[in-house]
Chain A
Amino acid sequence: MVVPKIKVENLNAWFGKKHVLKNINMEIKENTVTAIIGPSGCGKTTFLRCLNRMHEIIPGARVSGKVIFNGINIYDKGVDPVIIRKKIGMVFQKPNPFPMMSIYDNVAIGLKLNGVRDKKALDTAVRQSLELVNLWDEVKDDLNRSGANLSGGQQQRLCIARALAVEPEVLLMDEPCSALDPISTAKIEALIRRLTENYTIVIVTHNIQQAARISDYTAFFYLGELIEYGPTKQIFENPKHELTRKYIMGEFG
Protein backbone atom coordinates (compact mmCIF):
# COMPACT_ATOMS: atom_id res chain seq x y z
CA MET A 1 0.00 0.00 0.00
CA VAL A 2 1.55 3.27 -1.13
CA VAL A 3 1.30 6.20 1.26
CA PRO A 4 -0.74 8.97 -0.41
CA LYS A 5 0.99 12.26 -1.19
CA ILE A 6 -2.00 14.16 0.09
CA LYS A 7 -4.74 12.79 2.30
CA VAL A 8 -7.83 14.90 2.80
CA GLU A 9 -9.90 14.08 5.90
CA ASN A 10 -13.31 15.55 6.68
CA LEU A 11 -12.52 18.78 4.91
CA ASN A 12 -15.11 21.54 5.19
CA ALA A 13 -14.86 25.07 3.88
CA TRP A 14 -16.94 28.19 4.29
CA PHE A 15 -17.20 31.67 2.83
CA GLY A 16 -18.70 33.53 5.76
CA LYS A 17 -21.81 31.47 6.61
CA LYS A 18 -21.90 29.78 3.23
CA HIS A 19 -20.84 26.15 3.52
CA VAL A 20 -19.16 25.35 0.19
CA LEU A 21 -17.24 22.13 0.85
CA LYS A 22 -18.88 19.38 2.82
CA ASN A 23 -16.92 16.63 4.47
CA ILE A 24 -14.51 15.79 1.69
CA ASN A 25 -12.36 12.67 2.07
CA MET A 26 -9.85 11.86 -0.62
CA GLU A 27 -6.37 10.45 -1.17
CA ILE A 28 -4.10 11.80 -3.86
CA LYS A 29 -1.29 9.53 -5.04
CA GLU A 30 2.23 10.64 -5.78
CA ASN A 31 3.26 11.27 -9.40
CA THR A 32 -0.26 11.10 -10.76
CA VAL A 33 -2.62 13.58 -12.34
CA THR A 34 -5.89 13.94 -10.47
CA ALA A 35 -8.67 15.80 -12.26
CA ILE A 36 -11.41 17.64 -10.39
CA ILE A 37 -14.60 17.97 -12.40
CA GLY A 38 -18.09 19.20 -11.65
CA PRO A 39 -20.58 21.91 -12.56
CA SER A 40 -19.83 25.57 -12.03
CA GLY A 41 -19.99 26.68 -8.40
CA CYS A 42 -19.67 23.17 -6.95
CA GLY A 43 -16.49 24.05 -5.04
CA LYS A 44 -13.65 22.85 -7.28
CA THR A 45 -11.59 26.01 -6.96
CA THR A 46 -12.27 26.19 -3.26
CA PHE A 47 -11.14 22.58 -2.81
CA LEU A 48 -7.93 23.27 -4.71
CA ARG A 49 -7.23 26.37 -2.66
CA CYS A 50 -7.73 24.41 0.55
CA LEU A 51 -4.88 22.12 -0.43
CA ASN A 52 -2.21 24.84 -0.12
CA ARG A 53 -3.88 27.11 2.40
CA MET A 54 -4.84 29.74 -0.18
CA HIS A 55 -8.50 29.60 0.88
CA GLU A 56 -7.86 31.33 4.20
CA ILE A 57 -6.43 34.51 2.64
CA ILE A 58 -9.93 35.52 1.57
CA PRO A 59 -11.56 37.62 4.30
CA GLY A 60 -14.25 35.59 6.07
CA ALA A 61 -13.13 32.27 4.62
CA ARG A 62 -12.75 29.32 7.00
CA VAL A 63 -11.63 25.69 6.83
CA SER A 64 -12.02 22.67 9.10
CA GLY A 65 -10.68 19.14 8.80
CA LYS A 66 -7.29 17.82 7.85
CA VAL A 67 -5.09 17.92 4.80
CA ILE A 68 -2.20 15.58 5.44
CA PHE A 69 0.77 16.27 3.20
CA ASN A 70 3.89 14.11 3.54
CA GLY A 71 2.53 12.88 6.84
CA ILE A 72 1.79 16.26 8.45
CA ASN A 73 -1.51 18.05 8.70
CA ILE A 74 -0.99 21.39 6.97
CA TYR A 75 -3.70 22.92 9.17
CA ASP A 76 -1.93 21.97 12.40
CA LYS A 77 -1.05 24.83 14.70
CA GLY A 78 2.53 25.86 14.14
CA VAL A 79 2.61 24.90 10.47
CA ASP A 80 3.71 27.91 8.44
CA PRO A 81 1.43 28.33 5.40
CA VAL A 82 4.27 30.05 3.55
CA ILE A 83 6.32 26.86 3.65
CA ILE A 84 3.34 24.76 2.59
CA ARG A 85 2.77 26.97 -0.45
CA LYS A 86 6.38 26.61 -1.44
CA LYS A 87 5.92 22.83 -1.51
CA ILE A 88 2.47 22.93 -3.08
CA GLY A 89 2.51 25.35 -5.98
CA MET A 90 -0.42 26.77 -7.86
CA VAL A 91 -1.32 27.85 -11.38
CA PHE A 92 -4.38 30.03 -11.84
CA GLN A 93 -7.17 30.04 -14.38
CA LYS A 94 -6.17 33.39 -15.84
CA PRO A 95 -2.47 33.69 -16.68
CA ASN A 96 -1.06 36.20 -14.19
CA PRO A 97 2.60 36.93 -14.87
CA PHE A 98 4.00 39.92 -12.98
CA PRO A 99 3.62 42.66 -15.62
CA MET A 100 6.32 44.94 -14.23
CA MET A 101 8.95 42.21 -14.33
CA SER A 102 11.01 40.73 -17.11
CA ILE A 103 10.41 37.17 -18.24
CA TYR A 104 13.59 36.20 -16.45
CA ASP A 105 12.53 37.83 -13.19
CA ASN A 106 9.07 36.30 -13.39
CA VAL A 107 10.67 32.87 -13.20
CA ALA A 108 13.48 33.81 -10.84
CA ILE A 109 11.47 35.89 -8.36
CA GLY A 110 10.49 32.98 -6.11
CA LEU A 111 14.09 31.87 -5.73
CA LYS A 112 15.45 35.41 -5.46
CA LEU A 113 13.09 36.30 -2.65
CA ASN A 114 13.94 33.08 -0.92
CA GLY A 115 17.53 34.17 -0.71
CA VAL A 116 19.17 32.64 -3.79
CA ARG A 117 21.77 35.23 -4.80
CA ASP A 118 24.07 33.17 -7.00
CA LYS A 119 23.61 34.39 -10.58
CA LYS A 120 24.66 31.05 -12.07
CA ALA A 121 22.19 29.10 -9.97
CA LEU A 122 19.42 31.51 -10.93
CA ASP A 123 20.32 31.33 -14.64
CA THR A 124 20.23 27.56 -14.52
CA ALA A 125 16.94 27.43 -12.67
CA VAL A 126 15.32 29.90 -15.07
CA ARG A 127 16.54 27.98 -18.09
CA GLN A 128 15.51 24.59 -16.73
CA SER A 129 12.06 25.78 -15.75
CA LEU A 130 11.48 27.44 -19.11
CA GLU A 131 12.73 24.33 -20.91
CA LEU A 132 10.45 22.16 -18.85
CA VAL A 133 7.42 24.11 -20.06
CA ASN A 134 8.80 24.26 -23.64
CA LEU A 135 9.02 28.02 -23.57
CA TRP A 136 12.78 28.45 -23.61
CA ASP A 137 13.21 28.44 -27.39
CA GLU A 138 10.43 30.98 -27.81
CA VAL A 139 11.71 33.51 -25.27
CA LYS A 140 15.44 32.92 -24.88
CA ASP A 141 16.27 36.13 -26.76
CA ASP A 142 13.67 38.20 -24.92
CA LEU A 143 14.43 37.28 -21.33
CA ASN A 144 14.63 40.94 -20.37
CA ARG A 145 11.35 41.90 -21.97
CA SER A 146 8.13 42.13 -20.01
CA GLY A 147 6.19 38.94 -19.50
CA ALA A 148 3.02 40.88 -20.24
CA ASN A 149 3.81 41.01 -23.97
CA LEU A 150 3.60 37.25 -24.47
CA SER A 151 0.58 35.46 -25.92
CA GLY A 152 -1.95 33.98 -23.51
CA GLY A 153 -0.62 30.45 -23.94
CA GLN A 154 2.97 31.62 -23.49
CA GLN A 155 1.96 33.58 -20.40
CA GLN A 156 0.35 30.51 -18.90
CA ARG A 157 3.45 28.43 -19.57
CA LEU A 158 5.50 31.23 -18.02
CA CYS A 159 3.31 31.02 -14.93
CA ILE A 160 3.82 27.27 -14.78
CA ALA A 161 7.57 27.80 -15.10
CA ARG A 162 7.40 30.38 -12.32
CA ALA A 163 5.61 27.88 -10.07
CA LEU A 164 8.06 25.09 -10.95
CA ALA A 165 11.15 27.20 -10.33
CA VAL A 166 10.66 27.09 -6.56
CA GLU A 167 10.71 23.26 -6.82
CA PRO A 168 7.34 22.31 -5.37
CA GLU A 169 6.33 18.68 -4.95
CA VAL A 170 2.71 19.20 -5.87
CA LEU A 171 1.27 21.48 -8.52
CA LEU A 172 -2.35 22.64 -8.27
CA MET A 173 -3.84 23.89 -11.52
CA ASP A 174 -7.17 25.71 -11.72
CA GLU A 175 -8.52 25.40 -15.26
CA PRO A 176 -5.14 26.34 -16.69
CA CYS A 177 -6.32 26.03 -20.30
CA SER A 178 -9.68 27.73 -20.12
CA ALA A 179 -8.35 30.98 -21.58
CA LEU A 180 -6.27 29.30 -24.28
CA ASP A 181 -6.59 28.21 -27.89
CA PRO A 182 -6.47 24.50 -28.86
CA ILE A 183 -2.78 24.53 -29.80
CA SER A 184 -1.70 26.14 -26.54
CA THR A 185 -4.02 23.74 -24.72
CA ALA A 186 -2.41 20.73 -26.39
CA LYS A 187 1.02 22.02 -25.39
CA ILE A 188 0.01 22.40 -21.78
CA GLU A 189 -1.67 18.99 -21.70
CA ALA A 190 1.49 17.37 -23.02
CA LEU A 191 3.45 19.31 -20.43
CA ILE A 192 1.22 18.08 -17.62
CA ARG A 193 1.79 14.47 -18.65
CA ARG A 194 5.52 15.04 -18.70
CA LEU A 195 5.47 16.67 -15.27
CA THR A 196 4.04 13.57 -13.59
CA GLU A 197 7.52 12.10 -13.64
CA ASN A 198 8.56 14.42 -10.85
CA TYR A 199 5.41 16.09 -9.62
CA THR A 200 2.00 15.28 -8.29
CA ILE A 201 -0.67 17.25 -10.11
CA VAL A 202 -4.21 18.17 -9.20
CA ILE A 203 -6.07 19.92 -11.99
CA VAL A 204 -9.51 21.48 -12.11
CA THR A 205 -11.10 21.35 -15.52
CA HIS A 206 -14.42 22.08 -17.14
CA ASN A 207 -13.38 20.12 -20.15
CA ILE A 208 -14.41 16.52 -19.60
CA GLN A 209 -12.42 15.25 -22.56
CA GLN A 210 -9.39 16.95 -21.11
CA ALA A 211 -9.88 15.13 -17.82
CA ALA A 212 -10.17 11.85 -19.70
CA ARG A 213 -7.05 12.57 -21.77
CA ILE A 214 -4.65 13.63 -19.08
CA SER A 215 -5.71 12.34 -15.69
CA ASP A 216 -5.08 9.10 -13.83
CA TYR A 217 -7.76 9.75 -11.24
CA THR A 218 -10.93 11.79 -11.43
CA ALA A 219 -13.01 13.32 -8.68
CA PHE A 220 -16.54 14.49 -9.38
CA PHE A 221 -17.87 17.27 -7.16
CA TYR A 222 -21.47 18.34 -6.89
CA LEU A 223 -22.86 21.10 -4.65
CA GLY A 224 -19.85 21.02 -2.39
CA GLU A 225 -19.77 17.24 -2.00
CA LEU A 226 -17.40 14.69 -3.43
CA ILE A 227 -19.81 12.41 -5.25
CA GLU A 228 -17.42 9.96 -6.79
CA TYR A 229 -13.68 9.44 -6.91
CA GLY A 230 -11.65 6.75 -8.62
CA PRO A 231 -9.40 5.86 -11.56
CA THR A 232 -10.30 8.00 -14.56
CA LYS A 233 -10.99 4.94 -16.71
CA GLN A 234 -13.51 3.62 -14.25
CA ILE A 235 -15.20 6.99 -13.73
CA PHE A 236 -15.64 7.49 -17.45
CA GLU A 237 -16.50 3.97 -18.48
CA ASN A 238 -18.37 2.73 -15.52
CA PRO A 239 -19.48 5.47 -13.15
CA LYS A 240 -21.09 4.13 -10.00
CA HIS A 241 -23.18 7.18 -9.35
CA GLU A 242 -26.06 8.35 -11.48
CA LEU A 243 -25.01 12.06 -11.13
CA THR A 244 -21.52 11.30 -12.35
CA ARG A 245 -22.87 9.48 -15.37
CA LYS A 246 -25.20 12.34 -16.20
CA TYR A 247 -22.45 14.93 -15.86
CA ILE A 248 -20.06 12.99 -18.04
CA MET A 249 -22.74 12.46 -20.65
CA GLY A 250 -23.19 16.22 -20.72
CA GLU A 251 -26.73 16.05 -19.42
CA PHE A 252 -26.15 18.99 -17.09
CA GLY A 253 -23.45 21.42 -16.00
Chain B
Amino acid sequence: MRKLDHYKFRVFKDHIMRFLVYLSLVLVLIPLFSILYEVVKRGISVISLDFFIKPTPTVGEEGGIANAIQGTFITIGLASLIGVPIGLMSGIFLSEYNEHKLSVIVRFFNDVLSGIPSIVIGVFIYTLIVRSIGFSVIAAAFALAIIMIPIVTRTTEEALKLVPLSLREAAIALGLPRWKIIPTIVLRSARKTVVTGILLSIARIAGESAPILVTMGYWRWWFAGLDRPVANLALNVFIFATSPFESWRALAWGSALVLILIILGINIAVRIIMREKSW
Protein backbone atom coordinates (compact mmCIF):
# COMPACT_ATOMS: atom_id res chain seq x y z
CA MET B 1 0.00 0.00 0.00
CA ARG B 2 2.76 2.41 0.95
CA LYS B 3 4.64 1.47 -2.17
CA LEU B 4 1.72 2.41 -4.32
CA ASP B 5 1.45 5.82 -2.68
CA HIS B 6 5.07 6.36 -3.37
CA TYR B 7 4.56 5.53 -6.99
CA LYS B 8 1.56 7.82 -7.30
CA PHE B 9 3.51 10.64 -5.72
CA ARG B 10 6.31 10.14 -8.24
CA VAL B 11 3.87 10.22 -11.13
CA PHE B 12 2.37 13.36 -9.67
CA LYS B 13 5.79 15.01 -9.42
CA ASP B 14 6.48 13.97 -12.97
CA HIS B 15 3.31 15.69 -14.14
CA ILE B 16 4.13 18.85 -12.27
CA MET B 17 7.62 19.02 -13.75
CA ARG B 18 6.30 18.40 -17.21
CA PHE B 19 3.74 21.13 -16.78
CA LEU B 20 6.42 23.59 -15.67
CA VAL B 21 8.63 22.76 -18.62
CA TYR B 22 5.79 23.26 -21.10
CA LEU B 23 4.79 26.47 -19.37
CA SER B 24 8.25 27.94 -19.69
CA LEU B 25 8.37 26.85 -23.31
CA VAL B 26 5.20 28.84 -23.96
CA LEU B 27 6.57 31.80 -22.01
CA VAL B 28 9.67 31.78 -24.18
CA LEU B 29 7.75 31.48 -27.41
CA ILE B 30 5.15 34.17 -26.69
CA PRO B 31 7.49 37.16 -27.09
CA LEU B 32 9.20 35.59 -30.11
CA PHE B 33 5.97 34.94 -31.94
CA SER B 34 4.34 38.22 -31.01
CA ILE B 35 7.35 40.09 -32.39
CA LEU B 36 7.32 38.04 -35.56
CA TYR B 37 3.55 38.40 -35.88
CA GLU B 38 3.62 42.14 -35.41
CA VAL B 39 6.53 42.70 -37.80
CA VAL B 40 5.06 40.47 -40.48
CA LYS B 41 1.57 41.93 -40.16
CA ARG B 42 2.70 45.53 -40.38
CA GLY B 43 5.65 44.96 -42.66
CA ILE B 44 3.88 42.91 -45.27
CA SER B 45 1.46 45.73 -46.13
CA VAL B 46 4.25 47.99 -47.44
CA ILE B 47 5.99 45.29 -49.40
CA SER B 48 5.69 45.77 -53.12
CA LEU B 49 8.03 45.82 -56.08
CA ASP B 50 8.61 49.55 -55.60
CA PHE B 51 9.59 48.89 -52.01
CA PHE B 52 12.52 46.79 -53.22
CA ILE B 53 13.67 48.88 -56.18
CA LYS B 54 13.20 52.47 -54.94
CA PRO B 55 15.54 54.29 -52.56
CA THR B 56 14.61 56.17 -49.41
CA PRO B 57 11.82 58.66 -50.13
CA THR B 58 11.90 62.38 -49.46
CA VAL B 59 8.97 64.03 -47.70
CA GLY B 60 5.70 63.47 -49.50
CA GLU B 61 7.14 60.98 -52.00
CA GLU B 62 6.82 57.24 -52.44
CA GLY B 63 9.95 55.28 -51.77
CA GLY B 64 11.54 52.00 -50.81
CA ILE B 65 14.55 50.45 -49.15
CA ALA B 66 16.66 49.43 -52.16
CA ASN B 67 19.57 51.61 -51.08
CA ALA B 68 19.37 50.35 -47.50
CA ILE B 69 19.52 46.74 -48.69
CA GLN B 70 22.47 47.61 -50.90
CA GLY B 71 24.20 49.45 -48.06
CA THR B 72 23.59 46.67 -45.55
CA PHE B 73 25.05 44.04 -47.85
CA ILE B 74 28.09 46.16 -48.71
CA THR B 75 28.78 47.00 -45.09
CA ILE B 76 28.33 43.42 -43.89
CA GLY B 77 30.36 42.12 -46.83
CA LEU B 78 33.27 44.40 -46.10
CA ALA B 79 33.07 43.67 -42.39
CA SER B 80 33.22 39.94 -43.15
CA LEU B 81 36.15 40.46 -45.48
CA ILE B 82 38.04 42.03 -42.59
CA GLY B 83 36.68 40.05 -39.65
CA VAL B 84 36.43 36.50 -40.98
CA PRO B 85 40.10 35.99 -41.92
CA ILE B 86 41.28 37.47 -38.63
CA GLY B 87 38.80 35.38 -36.63
CA LEU B 88 39.71 32.25 -38.56
CA MET B 89 43.42 32.81 -38.05
CA SER B 90 43.15 33.40 -34.34
CA GLY B 91 40.79 30.42 -33.97
CA ILE B 92 43.33 28.23 -35.76
CA PHE B 93 46.08 29.66 -33.61
CA LEU B 94 44.22 28.94 -30.39
CA SER B 95 43.33 25.40 -31.37
CA GLU B 96 46.45 24.26 -33.21
CA TYR B 97 49.16 26.18 -31.39
CA ASN B 98 47.64 25.74 -27.98
CA GLU B 99 51.07 25.13 -26.45
CA HIS B 100 52.25 28.59 -27.55
CA LYS B 101 52.87 31.06 -24.72
CA LEU B 102 50.70 33.69 -26.38
CA SER B 103 47.62 31.51 -26.61
CA VAL B 104 46.51 32.19 -23.04
CA ILE B 105 46.72 35.92 -23.67
CA VAL B 106 44.95 35.74 -27.02
CA ARG B 107 42.15 33.66 -25.52
CA PHE B 108 41.77 36.06 -22.62
CA PHE B 109 41.55 39.16 -24.80
CA ASN B 110 39.20 37.42 -27.16
CA ASP B 111 36.86 36.68 -24.27
CA VAL B 112 37.10 40.26 -23.08
CA LEU B 113 36.43 41.53 -26.59
CA SER B 114 33.29 39.45 -26.91
CA GLY B 115 31.93 41.09 -23.77
CA ILE B 116 32.48 44.69 -24.83
CA PRO B 117 29.19 46.45 -25.70
CA SER B 118 28.95 47.16 -29.41
CA ILE B 119 28.40 50.87 -28.82
CA VAL B 120 31.81 51.05 -27.11
CA ILE B 121 33.40 49.41 -30.13
CA GLY B 122 31.60 51.99 -32.25
CA VAL B 123 32.99 54.87 -30.20
CA PHE B 124 36.46 53.36 -30.39
CA ILE B 125 36.25 53.26 -34.18
CA TYR B 126 34.85 56.76 -34.12
CA THR B 127 37.99 58.13 -32.44
CA LEU B 128 40.27 55.92 -34.49
CA ILE B 129 38.84 56.20 -38.01
CA VAL B 130 35.87 58.54 -38.22
CA ARG B 131 37.80 61.49 -36.89
CA SER B 132 40.37 61.14 -39.66
CA ILE B 133 38.36 60.01 -42.70
CA GLY B 134 34.80 60.80 -41.62
CA PHE B 135 31.60 58.79 -41.29
CA SER B 136 32.03 56.00 -43.80
CA VAL B 137 31.32 52.43 -44.85
CA ILE B 138 34.88 51.51 -44.01
CA ALA B 139 34.54 52.79 -40.45
CA ALA B 140 31.28 50.90 -39.95
CA ALA B 141 32.80 47.77 -41.46
CA PHE B 142 35.72 47.91 -39.04
CA ALA B 143 33.37 48.27 -36.09
CA LEU B 144 31.27 45.30 -37.23
CA ALA B 145 34.42 43.29 -37.95
CA ILE B 146 35.57 43.80 -34.37
CA ILE B 147 32.21 42.46 -33.20
CA MET B 148 32.59 39.43 -35.47
CA ILE B 149 36.16 38.51 -34.59
CA PRO B 150 35.58 37.00 -31.13
CA ILE B 151 32.58 35.02 -32.39
CA VAL B 152 34.45 33.56 -35.35
CA THR B 153 37.54 32.94 -33.23
CA ARG B 154 35.62 31.07 -30.58
CA THR B 155 33.55 28.91 -32.93
CA THR B 156 36.58 28.12 -35.08
CA GLU B 157 38.62 27.10 -32.06
CA GLU B 158 35.84 24.86 -30.75
CA ALA B 159 35.25 23.33 -34.19
CA LEU B 160 38.92 22.52 -34.76
CA LYS B 161 39.33 21.04 -31.30
CA LEU B 162 36.63 18.51 -32.16
CA VAL B 163 38.70 17.09 -35.03
CA PRO B 164 39.84 13.70 -33.68
CA LEU B 165 43.47 13.24 -32.72
CA SER B 166 43.56 10.05 -34.79
CA LEU B 167 43.12 12.05 -38.02
CA ARG B 168 45.85 14.48 -37.10
CA GLU B 169 48.18 11.61 -36.19
CA ALA B 170 47.41 9.85 -39.45
CA ALA B 171 48.43 13.00 -41.31
CA ILE B 172 51.55 13.57 -39.21
CA ALA B 173 52.61 9.96 -39.75
CA LEU B 174 52.43 10.51 -43.51
CA GLY B 175 55.31 12.96 -43.15
CA LEU B 176 53.24 16.07 -43.69
CA PRO B 177 54.26 19.34 -42.06
CA ARG B 178 51.80 21.05 -39.72
CA TRP B 179 51.13 24.02 -41.98
CA LYS B 180 49.95 21.65 -44.68
CA ILE B 181 47.89 19.50 -42.32
CA ILE B 182 45.88 22.42 -40.93
CA PRO B 183 44.16 23.54 -44.14
CA THR B 184 43.85 20.14 -45.80
CA ILE B 185 42.95 17.84 -42.95
CA VAL B 186 41.93 19.82 -39.89
CA LEU B 187 40.01 22.72 -41.44
CA ARG B 188 38.50 20.44 -44.02
CA SER B 189 37.14 18.05 -41.41
CA ALA B 190 35.68 20.90 -39.42
CA ARG B 191 34.53 23.08 -42.28
CA LYS B 192 30.81 22.64 -41.66
CA THR B 193 31.06 23.90 -38.12
CA VAL B 194 33.49 26.66 -39.08
CA VAL B 195 31.19 27.95 -41.82
CA THR B 196 28.29 27.78 -39.40
CA GLY B 197 30.17 29.99 -36.95
CA ILE B 198 30.93 32.50 -39.69
CA LEU B 199 27.29 32.63 -40.79
CA LEU B 200 26.08 33.10 -37.25
CA SER B 201 28.52 35.95 -36.75
CA ILE B 202 27.18 37.57 -39.92
CA ALA B 203 23.62 37.16 -38.64
CA ARG B 204 24.74 38.77 -35.43
CA ILE B 205 26.14 41.92 -37.08
CA ALA B 206 23.36 42.23 -39.66
CA GLY B 207 21.05 43.77 -37.10
CA GLU B 208 23.57 45.98 -35.28
CA SER B 209 22.50 49.61 -35.17
CA ALA B 210 24.34 51.43 -32.37
CA PRO B 211 27.89 50.99 -33.73
CA ILE B 212 26.65 51.90 -37.22
CA LEU B 213 25.14 55.09 -35.90
CA VAL B 214 28.43 56.34 -34.45
CA THR B 215 30.64 55.22 -37.33
CA MET B 216 28.50 55.88 -40.39
CA GLY B 217 25.51 57.83 -39.15
CA TYR B 218 22.15 57.80 -40.83
CA TRP B 219 22.40 58.29 -44.58
CA ARG B 220 19.63 58.23 -47.14
CA TRP B 221 21.57 57.81 -50.41
CA TRP B 222 23.03 55.03 -52.49
CA PHE B 223 26.54 53.69 -52.11
CA ALA B 224 29.08 56.26 -53.31
CA GLY B 225 32.42 54.92 -52.16
CA LEU B 226 33.91 53.20 -49.13
CA ASP B 227 34.94 56.50 -47.61
CA ARG B 228 31.32 57.73 -47.65
CA PRO B 229 28.34 56.55 -45.64
CA VAL B 230 25.56 54.46 -47.12
CA ALA B 231 21.97 53.66 -46.15
CA ASN B 232 21.38 50.79 -43.72
CA LEU B 233 18.39 48.61 -42.84
CA ALA B 234 18.79 48.71 -39.08
CA LEU B 235 19.09 52.49 -39.11
CA ASN B 236 16.05 52.70 -41.39
CA VAL B 237 14.10 51.04 -38.65
CA PHE B 238 15.54 53.39 -36.04
CA ILE B 239 14.93 56.62 -37.96
CA PHE B 240 11.59 55.86 -39.61
CA ALA B 241 9.93 54.24 -36.63
CA THR B 242 9.97 57.57 -34.80
CA SER B 243 9.08 59.74 -37.78
CA PRO B 244 5.84 61.76 -37.83
CA PHE B 245 4.58 60.37 -41.17
CA GLU B 246 2.45 57.26 -41.33
CA SER B 247 4.03 56.13 -44.65
CA TRP B 248 7.53 56.43 -43.21
CA ARG B 249 6.63 54.42 -40.15
CA ALA B 250 5.40 51.75 -42.51
CA LEU B 251 8.82 51.80 -44.15
CA ALA B 252 10.34 51.06 -40.74
CA TRP B 253 8.19 47.94 -40.40
CA GLY B 254 9.08 46.89 -43.92
CA SER B 255 12.79 47.34 -43.22
CA ALA B 256 12.44 45.38 -40.00
CA LEU B 257 10.72 42.56 -41.86
CA VAL B 258 13.44 42.38 -44.51
CA LEU B 259 16.14 42.45 -41.84
CA ILE B 260 14.48 39.61 -39.96
CA LEU B 261 14.07 37.64 -43.16
CA ILE B 262 17.79 38.05 -43.94
CA ILE B 263 18.75 36.83 -40.48
CA LEU B 264 16.21 34.02 -40.67
CA GLY B 265 17.61 33.08 -44.06
CA ILE B 266 21.11 32.84 -42.61
CA ASN B 267 19.85 30.65 -39.78
CA ILE B 268 18.06 28.36 -42.22
CA ALA B 269 21.25 28.13 -44.29
CA VAL B 270 23.08 27.07 -41.14
CA ARG B 271 20.49 24.34 -40.51
CA ILE B 272 20.84 23.04 -44.05
CA ILE B 273 24.63 23.00 -43.90
CA MET B 274 24.62 21.13 -40.60
CA ARG B 275 22.19 18.53 -41.90
CA GLU B 276 24.04 17.84 -45.14
CA LYS B 277 26.37 14.82 -45.16
CA SER B 278 29.69 15.49 -43.62
CA TRP B 279 31.91 15.24 -46.67
Contact = CB atoms under 8 A, between A and B. Distances in A.
A87 B279 CA distance: 30
Interface residues of A, number: 30
A188 interface: no
Interface residues of B, number: 21
B170 A96 contact: yes
A99 B279 contact: yes
A146 B166 CA distance: 17
B170 A59 contact: no
A82 B175 CA distance: 5
A59 B97 CA distance: 12
A52 B176 CA distance: 13
Given A82-B177, A94-B166, A98-B167, A57 B172 contact: yes
A22 interface: no
Best-surrounded residue of B173, B177, B185, B278 (most CB of chain A within 10 A)? B173
Contacts of A89: 173-175
Best-surrounded residue of B99, B169, B174, B279 (most CB of chain A within 10 A)? B174
B189 A85 contact: no
Contact of A110 (B166, B167, B174): B174
B278 A83 contact: no
Given A100-B279, A163-B174, 7 more contacts: A54-B173, A84-B175, A98-B185, A100-B278, A109-B184, A166-B174, A166-B175
15 contacts: A54-B172, A54-B173, A85-B173, A89-B173, A92-B169, A96-B170, A98-B171, A98-B185, A98-B189, A99-B279, A100-B188, A101-B279, A109-B174, A146-B279, A162-B170
Closest 10 CB pairs of A and B: A86-B175, A100-B279, A90-B173, A85-B175, A96-B166, A110-B174, A96-B170, A113-B180, A82-B177, A146-B279
Interface of A: 52, 54, 57, 59, 82-87, 89-90, 92, 94, 96-101, 109-110, 113-114, 146, 148, 159, 162-163, 166
